[in-house]
């Protein structure tokens, strides 16, 4: 895959976003992708321009000139360097983000954006930023097929201007860089890492340290980073005013080796930051084995809650923060080796290989190569043969899987009902019918490889699979499931019919049916209750049945039992079976096709206008 990252500042600039882009690009290059980074040709707050092109290991760097403010640098030439990309990944919300969205009809590249906190890092022009975010940014987002929220806070923020097409992919961390670098025995020394900027609230870090130092004069503090709107002299002055100048070391523009050397004498990481998109430096500190002491902002709270490591304190009250920290330090130091190892282990979940795989999945979804999100439901892109192989593999796993055949009617239900939508997101979803194919062509520019309707696929799968299954049939009017079972036994005799049950069940009868299925030791449950009943039934009860696959088959039992005739082959080949079914059952189906289909296409058109080509994450109950 040809991937182009677009970001304001990059190597040799140093900072959180620059580090994220460099690590992600390097991870993708190692995975065999062709990676280019397009960035600006000057480092903000520094003199001179950088080379127009440079090679950084396997990453191609292209730099373009810009005019205007560093807050909104205008760089028209960026569009020249994305034309051969399969995916263009923009980082941050700025001119580059807006410009590539507005010129999308010209370059026609697939666009993805990582949020990185938008532009709310500082209170500067806060009201104007809110207006811009809710108008211009909202409009620009329609040019992006996928939005990667790098934190839960960003996910919440961006959902206020775009409901769909947002994936939560928290930033990865180079957990190798400072791996196990902290002091191997407890040391009364803490370190703060990051830019010397006001939003990092280094003034509060120093005030907190001074309070700790007053209680225990053995403590030391290291502040390491790169000058921004604060200089090293500003920090030294703050330390002198707090009376701890002799105990605070300020390290300006350190190398990675410098930072590792300083960490080796520390046991605590401290950050009083007012704003973080994710908390990269805090995870780096954990990877070193440092105890993180963090401000109570949302990303830090989430990090502590998720990992169970660290302490959240309100640095605005430095005395109270120190009073909370010192007892926690005593606990940490008493069992230091185990606590240090717990911090290192917790950081492993944020490593770049896993995050790189998440981004690759996002790119594939945007391109529609393996999955296509239609009305926020991910539909697999596959063939009869590939789907057969997939189900054979999944049936051998311990975790049960649901298989759903999604037509326009199914996706309409999912659009209207969150429970149905989330049930489909947890399932293997295969495309069924001409309506879904039309949606695919509109949203992704191409149809599905084959029409995998359940009426044709399920019998074909049962005859083709190499696995031998015990099959239970649930659904239809009394007697229908038994006749369908006889048909299966005839066309696929290598399977065993484990049992049957009609679909008109009261709650007590449902419990009895679940017991029968479990006692039958069935591997596959074929369930024909119609949608969305069968999807919701499987979500609620499949695990209880003990089956490895639950397949929603709709009207299949009626066709197998010959209670309802199927359209002739020539009608099915012309993809007009829906018209044949309306003639057979007009009272039941006219609304589905003559009302439901226009509604479905309207919803698909609305998705096309929003730009969303990615399914949101499964909502947690």
Q: Tell me which residue of 483, 460, 457 sits closest to 552, measured CA to CA.
A: 457
Pairing of the two strands 34-40 and 2-6: parallel
587, 590, 591, 597 alpha-carbon torsion, rounded to 10°? 160
Residue 578 is predicted with a pLDDT of 73
DSSP assignment letter at 297: -
The SS3 of residue 109 is coil
Axis-axis angle for helices 408-416, 434-444 (nearest 10) = 70
Domain boundaries, the chain: 2-168, 189-344, 368-607
CATH of 2-168, one of 3.40.50.880, 1.10.10.10, 3.40.50.2000, 3.40.50.300: 3.40.50.2000
pLDDT tens, position by position, 399-430: 899 999 999 999 999 999 999 999 999 999 99
The helix or strand, by DSSP H or E, that contains position 556, with its residue range, turns out to be helix 556-560
**DSSP alpha helices (H): ranges in 85-185?**
95-102, 104-107, 126-132, 138-141, 152-158
Asked whether the domain spanning 189-344 has the same topology as the one spanning 2-168, the reply is yes
User: Which mean pLDDT values do the consecutive 10-residue runs of the chain (621 residues) have?
Assistant: 97 88 96 97 90 96 94 94 97 96 96 92 84 96 95 90 92 90 97 93 97 97 94 97 97 95 98 85 95 94 92 96 96 95 93 92 95 95 96 91 95 93 94 94 96 93 94 95 96 96 90 95 95 93 96 92 81 76 73 86 95 75 33
Contact 286, 351 (CB under 8 A): no
Contact 169, 617 (CB under 8 A): no
Residue 620 is predicted with a pLDDT of 39
Architecture of domain 189-344: 3-Layer(aba) Sandwich (3.40)
CA distance 592 to 438: 17
pLDDT tens, position by position, 32-91: 999 999 999 999 988 889 999 999 999 999 999 999 988 899 999 999 999 999 999 999
Radius of gyration of the chain (CA): 29
Residue 30 is predicted with a pLDDT of 95
* Cβ neighbourhood burial of 572 (10 Å; 0-12, 13-18, 19+): middle
Residue 73 is predicted with a pLDDT of 94
With vertex at residue 235, the alpha carbon angle to CA 233 and CA 240, rounded to the nearest 5 degrees, is 95
Q: 545 - beta bridge partners?
A: none
If one counts every other C-beta atom within 10 angstroms of the C-beta of residue 261, the result is: 13
* Contacts (Cβ under 8 Å, ≥6 apart) of 224: 191, 192, 193, 250, 251, 254, 258, 259, 262
pLDDT tens, position by position, 453-469: 999 999 999 999 989 99
């Amino acid at each position: 895959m040809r991937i182009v990252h677009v970001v304001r500042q990059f190597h040799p600039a140093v900072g959180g976003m620059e580090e994220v882009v460099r690590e992600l690009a390097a991870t993708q290059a190692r995975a065999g992708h062709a990676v280019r980074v397009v960035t600006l040709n000057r480092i903000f707050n520094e003199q001179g321009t950088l080379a127009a092109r440079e090679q950084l290991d396997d990453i191609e760097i292209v730099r373009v000139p810009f005019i205007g403010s560093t807050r909104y640098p205008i760089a028209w030439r960026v569009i020249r360097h994305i034309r051969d990309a399969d995916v263009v990944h923009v980082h941050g919300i700025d001119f580059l983000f807006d410009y590539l969205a507005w010129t999308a009809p010209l370059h026609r590249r697939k666009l993805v954006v990582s949020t990185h906190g938008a532009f709310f890092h500082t209170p500067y022009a806060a009201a104007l930023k809110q207006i811009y975010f809710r108008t211009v940014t909202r409009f620009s987002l329609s040019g992006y097929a996928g939005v990667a929220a790098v934190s839960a806070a960003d996910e919440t923020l961006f959902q206020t201007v775009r409901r769909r097409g947002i994936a939560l992919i928290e930033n990865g961390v180079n957990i190798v860089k400072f791996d196990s670098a902290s002091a191997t025995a407890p040391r009364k020394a803490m370190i703060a890492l990051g830019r010397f900027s006001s939003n990092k609230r280094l003034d509060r870090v120093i005030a907190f340290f001074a309070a700790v130092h007053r209680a225990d004069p053995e403590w030391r503090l290291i502040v390491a980073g790169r000058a921004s709107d604060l200089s090293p002299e500003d920090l030294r002055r703050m330390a002198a005013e707090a009376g701890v100048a002799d105990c605070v070391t300020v390290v300006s523009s350190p190398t990675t080796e410098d930072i590792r050397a300083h960490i080796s004498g520390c046991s605590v990481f401290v950050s009083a930051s007012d704003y973080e998109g994710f908390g990269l430096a805090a995870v780096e500190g954990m990877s070193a084995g440092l105890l993180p002491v963090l401000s109570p902002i949302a990303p830090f709270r989430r990090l502590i809650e998720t990992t169970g490591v660290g302490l959240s304190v309100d640095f605005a009250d430095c005395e109270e923060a120190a009073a909370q920290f010192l007892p926690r330090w005593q606990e940490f130091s008493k069992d230091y080796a185990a606590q240090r190892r717990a911090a290192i282990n917790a950081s492993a979940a944020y490593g770049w290989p896993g995050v790189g795989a998440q981004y690759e999945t996002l790119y594939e979804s945007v391109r529609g190569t393996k999955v296509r999100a239609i009305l926020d439901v991910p539909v697999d892109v596959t063939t009869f043969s590939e789907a057969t192989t997939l189900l054979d593999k999944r049936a051998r796993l311990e975790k049960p899987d649901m298989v759903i055949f999604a037509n326009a009617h199914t996706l309409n239900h999912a659009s209207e009902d969150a429970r149905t939508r989330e049930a489909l997101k947890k399932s293997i979803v295969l495309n069924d019918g001409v309506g879904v194919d039309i949606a695919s062509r509109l949203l992704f520019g191409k149809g599905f490889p084959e029409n995998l309707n359940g009426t044709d696929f399920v019998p074909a799968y049962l005859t083709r699979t190499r696995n031998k299954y015990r099959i239970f049939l649930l659904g239809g009017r009394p007697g229908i499931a038994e006749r369908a079972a006889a048909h299966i036994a005839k066309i696929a005799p290598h399977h065993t019919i484990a049992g049957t049950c009609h679909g008109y069940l009261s709650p007590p009868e449902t419990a009895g049916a679940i017991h029968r299925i479990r006692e039958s030791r069935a591997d596959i449950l074929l369930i024909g209750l119609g949608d969305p009943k069968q999807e919701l039934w499987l979500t609620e009860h499949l695990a209880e049945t003990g089956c490895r696959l639950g397949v929603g088959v709709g009207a299949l039992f009626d066709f197998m039992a010959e209670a309802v005739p199927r359209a002739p082959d020539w009608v099915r080949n012309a993809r007009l079976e829906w018209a044949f079914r309306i003639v057979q059952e007009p009272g039941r189906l006219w609304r589905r096709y003559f009302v439901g289909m226009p509604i479905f296409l309207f919803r698909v058109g609305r998705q096309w206008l929003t730009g969303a080509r990615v399914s949101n994450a499964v909502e947690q109950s």
